[in-house]
Structure 1
């Protein structure tokens, strides 16, 4: 993230590409459904790289057979959280555990505040650095 000149959050698949259209999102969801994945939506207003657990929107969608259900849930999520980051995650339960097979951001706020590098002076000449989200200043 620190070397990203555009300032866009780069987490998950497709993060260096332009935002996906709803038709492209639906095609990715269809692909995941063909693989047997279950989809879920998550939101956050603080996308720090160590913040891997975002807030889940609704329940995971285990029993869907087409992308329309996921797209309806995404539309509801966008209405509820118009200024948050929203990501879709596909879970693969074929091995008996739910592991994430696909994850990508489907909505970003109009202004992404980004991160800053904070330096802390320690005893002697020690210096510690931390990546601090601009949302932490609120």
Structure 2
């Protein structure tokens, strides 16, 4: 059996912290983000954009960027809102959330743009 790799994520080192789905992988490309948004809206989930400062990643609530986009199925509009959030908050992590209104839960949550680490 192969050994499990320790990612050495520590609260004392903000640059090492892991967060949300896909955080152990390299940052997503524009095409990969598009595929995730496409999947999210194809499931009928309501997209929402959130952001936070990297140093508060584990300690505070994420800020909501506008209201969730209830019923939005246009992938370009969701990506445009994520880009607008990133532009307005260039140092913050930006997260895409898919709210599943049938289960009343998050169907997906992933950081799609990573902020600068301190």
Q: Taking structure 1 as the reference length, what is the TM-score of the superposition?
A: 0.70
**Does the CA-based 8 Å contact 1:39-1:91 persist in structure 2?**
yes
Matched, 1:47 2:56: yes
Change (3 A) 1:71 1:80: same
Q: Distance in 2 between matches of 1:100 and 1:8?
A: 25
Q: Which residue of 2 aligns with 1:107?
A: 113
Aligned Cα RMSD in Å? 2.2
Structure 2 Cα separation of the partners of residues 108 and 60 of structure 1: 20
The structure with the greater share of residues assigned to helix is 2
- 1:43, 1:57 within 8 Å by CA — same for their partners in 2? yes
Residue 84 to residue 48, structure 1, CA distance change in 2 (3 Å): closer
Aligned to 2:31: 23
How many pairs does the alignment contain? 109
TM-aligned CA deviation for residue 56 of structure 1: 0.2
- Deviation of 1:81 after TM superposition, in Å, equals 0.4
More strand by share: 1
**Higher RCO, 1 vs 2 (CA within 8 Å, ≥6 residues apart):** 2
TM-score normalised according to structure 2 size: 0.81
Unaligned runs of 5+ in 1: 114-138
Structure 2: gaps spanning 5 or more residues: 1-6
Question: Which is higher, the Rg of structure 1 or of structure 2?
Answer: 1
User: Is 1:87 matched up with 2:92?
Assistant: no
Residue 3 (1) aligns with residue 3 (2): no
Aligned pairs (5 A) from 1:53-64 = 53-64=61-72
